[in-house]
Each structure stands twice: as C-alpha cells, then as structure tokens.
Structure 1
Amino acid sequence: MLPHARAEKYDMVKEYAGSTFFNDWAFYDHFDNLTNGDVVFVGAQQAAQNKLAFVDPSTNHAIIKIDNTTTVPFNEKRNAVRIQTNEMYSVGSLWTIDMYHVPYGCSVWPAFWSHSPNWPDGGEIDVFEGVNLQQRNQMALHTNPGCKQVNPNQSVDSSFIPNTDCSYLTNNNQGCIVNDPDVQSYGAEFASAGGGVWVTEYAESGISIWFMPREKVASVISSNSSTIDTSELGTPTANWPTGGCDMNTFFAPQNIILDITLCGDFAKPPQIFSQTCPGLCYEDWVVGNGSSYATAYFEIGSMRVFSKSGTTTTVGGQNNSDSSSGSSDSSGSSGPSDNSAATLNVDWVRMMMYVVSLWGIGLGSSFVVENFAF
C-alpha cells in the first residue's frame, strides 16, 4: 500500500464526549418525512426521558437507539433519534468517531454522515451507512454533476466500487460508492471485534475515510492525541481526490449527522429487504413489541473534530438560532424543540431521488440490487 498521498497535520477544535456529548446537537423533532422511514424522531427531552439518547454512567459512552420497549400497533411508527451538529465544518477539517457498537438488524437503517445545508449544493459525505443484516459498511459522496472518483489512493480495490460518478443526477442518486470489504465494519462482527474508529478527512486534496477495527486503531487515535498527522494513518480505506472532484466547487461547510431510521426508501424495498431478512419490513418487524431491536443502537466513545494546523474551520450553523439555548445534557433537562424546517429543505431532494431510483419507470429489481451493492 502507498502512504497517504498528501499528509496534513490537524489540531483538535471540538470534542463530543462523556456527560456533555449531546451538547451542541439539534434533535430533529419530527416524524421521518425525509426518507419515508417508519419512525418518529423525538426531541432531546423525550429522547432522554425514554432512554433513546443518553450517556451511560457506567461507561461514559453515548447511546443513541431505537425504541425497543414499546408495542407499536399497525399504522403507527416507532420512536428514534436523529441529531445534527449545530456547528458546521469547512474544508480543512478532519473528524473522528470512536464507536463500540453500531445499529443493525432487520428493518434497521443507521448512518453517520454529513451534508451542506443547501444540498445538493455543497455535497454530502456518507462515512457509515447500511441496512438490515448486510455485512459491510458503505461509504459514498453525493454532489452536483461533475464530481467523480478519479485515480483514488485507497486500500479498497475496484471490485468494491459499484459507481464512480458522485452526481445526484446519475444512476438515480446512487453516489460514488466505496464498499468496505472488511466484515468488521458493520453489524455483529463490528460489535464482536470491540468496535472501531472512522476518520474522515475533508481537505483541499480531497476526501478520505479510514476505518480501523479496534485492534488496528492507529496509536495517534487510541492515545486521544489533540494533534493528528495523517501520515500516521496509512492508506485510506476510501479516497476521492480533488483531481476528479474539486473540493471548493462541489463541497461547502458540513453539518455532521447521526441517525437511525426503520425501513424507509433504502431498507424497505422487497428487492433489498429479502436479501438478508424474511417477511415484510414494516408489518413483520416495526409493528409489535420491539424486542427485535435490542441491537439497534449506537454506542459512542467520542466524536472529535480537528482543523488543519494554523486554521479555524468551524463555522456557525443554521440551527444555532433554534437550539443554542436548549442543548441537551445527559439528563435531557432541555433541548431544541424542532429543527425540522431547516433539515426538510435539505433532504427532500434526497428522498425524491431515492423514490425515483426504486420506483422509476422502466427500472427493474436487478437495477435496485446493484444500486445498493453490499
């Protein structure tokens, strides 16, 4: 493997961890009208009261989960959580997330990702995403037309790259996907390995993502160093160089997002759901007592954001006016009431493109299976 092509040094500017993990996030207090998921995203206070978003005092880890204790009747939805950073991070940023468990299970669709508030302008970076009982993480970019993955310096070979065109207008918003061949990057295997760390670099030279299972986490990460030199991380798992996708043209400051939905436009279609799960996504899994969602949770040690040494890449987010006075602590004593309007405008186009990809005229099931290659 070649070393990372353009090593940079970064200094930590923000840490989300421990009892203050949920400070400075906006909770999307609304049903999932973004991706047609069968969930209601609850606000900060309800999430804390119902133990859907809290800090575990025994580990000091943040937990974000699907409700697995309520009996949901037919035609109703299950409670879940979607949070987005109040602040945005511009080119010249790097963020890490140390997770011990990621959500998985039939009907479950989790993601750790970022986007610009004016998507597709400003782009989207999908660091972690998957559905149902798939075995591997999927990484991708989604942008305006003109951005492509060209000559990447990455450890994943071409057999795990179903598409290199990042345009949301190409292949019905498939994005330029890199599938991680490591089965420890998702689901039960991730948990049994003790979790791991993702590092995302959003640099002038391009976007890179590293995945490191627990036993292979680089020492500069495991030591919680306040400075990271990317030359110490080795070859990225996935890489989109600026030569095929100019960062200043296709990307803008990013809000970082963590969410879990159920079914929806990605996990629910029978052509996808039946690949790893029996029955019907909503009727046989969402409805009922919720015991099947015991594994549908994030357990997060920390998320840390860095800026290129000598620079400041933190910028104010559009959600600050809604939530700066109501950030949640681990007890959930306060929280933003509703930031749905801000996010709805961003994600409506994404939802419609998913719908087109799944039910568009002339598209058969074989296309859908390829579109979301696992």
Structure 2
Amino acid sequence: MKLHLSVLVGIGLLGRLSAAAYRLQDDYGKGDSFFDKFDFFTEPDPTSGFVNYIDRSVARRAGIIRSQGDTTYLGVDNRNIANSTGRQSVRLTSYQEYNHGLVILDLAHMPGSVCGTWPAFWMVGTVPPTAGEIDIIEGVNEGPNNEVTLHTNDDGCSVQRSGFSGRIATENCYIYSTGSAGSGGCGIVDSEANSYGDGFNAAGGGVFATEWTSDFIRVWRFSSSNVPNDIRAENPDPSRWGTPVARFSGSCDIDSQFQNLHIVFDVTFCGSWAGSAWSQSNKCAPLARTCVDYVRSTPAAFSESYWGINSLKVYQQD
C-alpha cells in the first residue's frame, strides 16, 4: 500500500512532536547567576534543627557558597565550633513557583552520609504543607538510601502499589496521619546503595528527574554513566526512561493537593528526624551523647556536607 507524501510527512512530524513533549522553561545556570534565582531563608529552622541559616553575603564571605570549577557549591561551616544558634548552613528557595513540570537536577556531589546531618532537595508551597510538599532527595545521618516522600495537608492520598522500583516505606500522604505527630507522608525508598550520600558520590554523582502532572508524580535517578541522551540534549522524553524509582498515583487528587511549589535546597542538623534517630544509630550514638553535642563540637566532620550542582533545569509540556 502506498502512502501519500503528505501523510508520510505528517507521521514524521507527529514523531518529532512526541519526542519533544517538554520544552525548557528555566535553566538555573551556575555561580552567581544560580544564586540570583533563589531567596536565602534566614528564619529559625521549622524542623527544630541545630542550624543557623545565613544570608547570601555572609555565606559567600565564609566560602559556604561559591563556584567550584563547573559546579555550584552549597555547603556548611566545617571550620568552626558552632555557637548556641547552631552550625551555619544555607537554605535556598526558588523565587519561581511551579504547577506541574519536569525538574532535572544534575549533581556532581550531594551531602555525604554524615552523622548529624539532614540534607534535602524538595519542592514546597509558601506555607508548608498547605500547598503540598515533594521531597525528591532526603535522608539523615549515615543512611545509605534516598527516600522520596509526598506530604499533603488533606487526607485521602495514598501510594498505589505498582509502577515503580523502590519499596514503600509509608502509604498515607497526609501529614497529620494517625500516629505521625505532624510529620506524616507517603514515602518510597530507593533500594540501590548508590542512591544517596556517600554511595551516590562514590559512583560519580548522577541525575534526578521529577515529573509532576495531574495524573502522577514520578522520580527517576540515573548514575552519571547512565544519563539518557535526551536529557543531555535538553530534549527529555520520560516515556523512554523505563520504570521510575518512585511513582505516586491512584486515589490522590494531585492538582488539589500540590500547587504553586518552590524548589528548595538545604542542609540542616539534628532536629525532628536526624536528632530523634541519633540514639538508634549504631554508628552515630557512640560519637557523642547527643546529636547537638556532636554537631556543635566537630566541624571537620562536615567537610562532605555540600551540594555540588552541575545544573538545574525545569521543563514544561508543549
């Protein structure tokens, strides 16, 4: 059967449109241009961490933020005994807010598996968690595995038990679910040892890609040697990436639960998760009586507690 030339051209055009479903909206750049796109949060830590979040000028003078070769460096104070307000760190919140999108973070380094630390890369509404929260990278202390978590302000969201390679840690996304003490959420743990901290860094870094639509929220992680060519070419096509590490879909009305989210980087210390888990850690508990004691008195322990960012890009569907 012969096809008319115009039909063949149309089929080819559809193929190209399908492969180019996402267009670049925001490229956060490097160095000063990167920091221009973020607000530096300097209020007390909402998670009760032993941390002193400092502003841009103080962080630059202290060397806590800087360009480091082709990467953007976000670190913590690893030189000084901390005072009573906590160890100096930064918490960056994007000025831009998002509703849906494909967020692709290329990391040369993430904060290592260090006792006392609680690093995160996440998205959240202006007054968390009233507009929802998506935790893309998160862990505490010496933990080897990344946990992807959603937090909702309304009940009725839970994890569907299929369509992802990770393992379910918690099913109910409601932040005030029974017994959660206001820290509830639905979590999926990446089972690979190179998904977080020291293991991720030893593998040479990699890419986290988060797709947020009306139907689902999905997260992939790629090692630096296995990043899809379409991501490198700024023409990302999630349909080609295989099974995600995490997928949240099913009973949840995503559009009503997640709105106007900002991108956040931070490293805090101790607090309601890392601090409460201190005594249960066979590695951390012998180091000091409390998490705060250790974080206050051992600055050199935190030399690996930094983000080394190759790029951060956000795409939207055409």
* TM norm structure 1: 0.74
2:187 corresponds in structure 1 to 177
Counterpart contact for 2:119–2:266, Cα < 8 Å: yes
Shift of 1:102: 1.1
Give the whole-Å Cα distance in 2 for the aligned partners of 1:272 and 1:138.
Answer: 21
Q: Structure 2 matches for 1:45-124, cutoff 5 A?
A: 45-56=57-68, 59-73=69-83, 75-91=84-100, 93-104=101-112, 105-124=114-133
Shift of the alpha carbon at 1:281? 3.9
Q: Distance in 1 between matches of 2:172 and 2:188?
A: 11
* AA of the residue aligned to 1:246: D
Match of 2:315 in 1: 306
- Write the mapping of 1:314-325 to structure 2, written as runs, cut at 5 A: none
Equivalent residue, structure 1, for 2:38: 25
Q: Deviations over 1:258-314 (max 9, x none)?
A: 0000111110125665244123344542122511111111111011001111xxxxx
What RMSD in Å do the two structures reach over aligned CA positions? 1.9
| Contact 2:165–2:190 (CA under 8 A) maintained in structure 1 | no
CA distance in 2, matches of 1:288, 1:98: 32
Ranges in structure 1 where 5+ consecutive residues have no aligned partner:
1-5, 310-374
CA offset at residue 231 of structure 1? 1.1
Residue 212 of structure 1 is matched in structure 2 by: 222
> In the alignment, which of 194, 197, 202 is matched to residue 187 of structure 1?
197
Q: What's the % identity of the aligned pairs?
A: 30
The list of structure 1 runs, each at least 4 consecutive aligned residues, that deviate by more than 6 angstroms after superposition, is none
Q: Pick closer, same or farther for the CA change 1:259–1:283 going to 2, 3 Å.
A: closer
**Secondary structure, aligned partner of 1:255:** strand
Q: Quote how far apart the aligned CAs of 1:190 are.
A: 0.9
Alignment CA distance shift 1:169-1:193 (3 Å): same
Contact 1:38 1:77 in 2 (8 A): yes
Alignment partner of 2:28 out of 8, 13, 16: 16
Distance 2:289 2:106 in 1: 33
Q: Judging changes above 3 Å, is the alpha-carbon distance between structure 1 residues 255 and 76 closer, same or farther for their aligned structure 2 residues?
A: closer
Structure 2 stretches of 5 or more lacking a match?
A: 1-17
**Would you say 1:293 and 2:305 are equivalent positions?**
no
Q: Which residue of 1 aligns with 2:268?
A: 261
In the alignment, structure 1 residue 235 sits paired with structure 2 residue 243? yes
Aligned residue number for residue 163 of structure 2: 153
Determine the C-alpha separation between the residues in 2 that align with 1:134 and 1:181. Answer: 12
Question: Given that residues 147 and 244 in structure 1 are in contact (C-alpha distance below 8 angstroms), is that contact kept between their aligned partners in structure 2?
Answer: yes
1:86 partner SS: strand
- 1:140 correspondence with 2:149: yes
Structure 1, residues 301-342: CA drift from partner, whole Å, max 9, x if none? 011001111xxxxxxxxxxxxxxxxxxxxxxxxxxxxxxxxx
SS of equivalent residue, structure 2 residue 145: coil
Answer whether contact 1:164 1:176 (CA < 8 A) is retained: yes
Please tell me the residue identity of whatever aligns with 1:240. Answer: F
Q: For residue 5 of structure 2, what is the aligned residue in structure 1?
A: none
Structure-to-structure mapping, 1:286-365, within 5 angstroms: 286-309=295-318
Q: Say whether the 8 Å CA contact 1:211–1:237 is kept in structure 2.
A: yes
Single out whichever of 211-220 and 277-286 deviates more from structure 2: 277-286
Give the drift of 1:122.
Answer: 2.1
Structure number with larger C-alpha Rg = 2
CA distance in 1, matches of 2:255, 2:292: 45
Deviation at 1:214, TM superposition (A): 1.4
- Name the count of aligned residue pairs: 293
User: What is the Cα deviation at residue 17 of structure 1?
Assistant: 2.3
The amino acid of 2:236's aligned partner reads: I
Distance in 2 (CA, whole Å) between partners of 1:234 and 1:270 is 34
Q: Secondary structure at the match of 2:118?
A: strand
Question: Taking structure 2 as the reference length, what is the TM-score of the superposition?
Answer: 0.87
Question: Residue 149 of structure 2 aligns to which amino acid in structure 1?
Answer: A
The 3-state SS of whatever aligns with 1:306 is: strand
Q: For 2:30 and 2:248, how far apart are their aligned partners in 1?
A: 32
Deviation at 1:16, TM superposition (A): 1.2
1:35 pairs, out of 40, 44, 47, with: 47
